[in-house]
Amino acid sequence: MDHKSDLVFLGDMKPEEISYRLKHYYKFIFVRNPMERLLSAYRNKFGEIKEYQQKYGVEIVRRYRKNGGNSAGDDVSFSEFLQYLLDEDVERMNEHWMPIYN
């Protein structure tokens, strides 16, 4: 059963209603285990999606592997992916592996 139509979104409210809710309501968020989330992103993006392999994988291999200049980006190791995340500027990160708090 879809209850999405029962929800009221901030975007549907007047500015003063939004302001009141943000100041007075208790806010929370459900998040995944961070390591599980990283592994899931790695498996999905570098194991299945060619666009991510080309957009990110080629650069990751070039940066972190000796003689990795002619890789198609489809063979990024998990440790190379983690090193990339540690070195990457959080503001430029892809939303799939950006920290939740940002």
The larger pLDDT score, comparing residue 27 to residue 49, is at 27
pLDDT, one tens digit per residue, over 46-89 is 887 778 888 888 888 888 888 766 777 778 889 998 998 888 77
* 64 assigned to some structural domain: yes
**Any residues with CB less than 8 A from the CB of 54 and at least 6 apart, and which?**
72, 73
- Longest CA–CA separation in the chain, Å: 58
* 57 assigned to some structural domain: yes
* 97 assigned to some structural domain: no
Average model confidence (pLDDT) across the chain: 83
Total domains, the chain: 1
CA–CA separation, 57 and 76 (whole Å)? 6
* 25 assigned to some structural domain: no
pLDDT for 70 equals: 72
Question: Distance between alpha carbon 31 and the CA centroid of its chain, in Å?
Answer: 12
* 74 assigned to some structural domain: yes
User: What's the pTM value of the predicted model, to 2 decimals?
Assistant: 0.65
* 101 assigned to some structural domain: no
* 66 assigned to some structural domain: yes
Domain that holds residue 80: 34-92
Long-range contacts of 44-53 (CB under 8 A, 24+ apart): 44/96, 45/96, 46/73, 46/74, 46/76, 46/81, 50/74
* 8 assigned to some structural domain: no
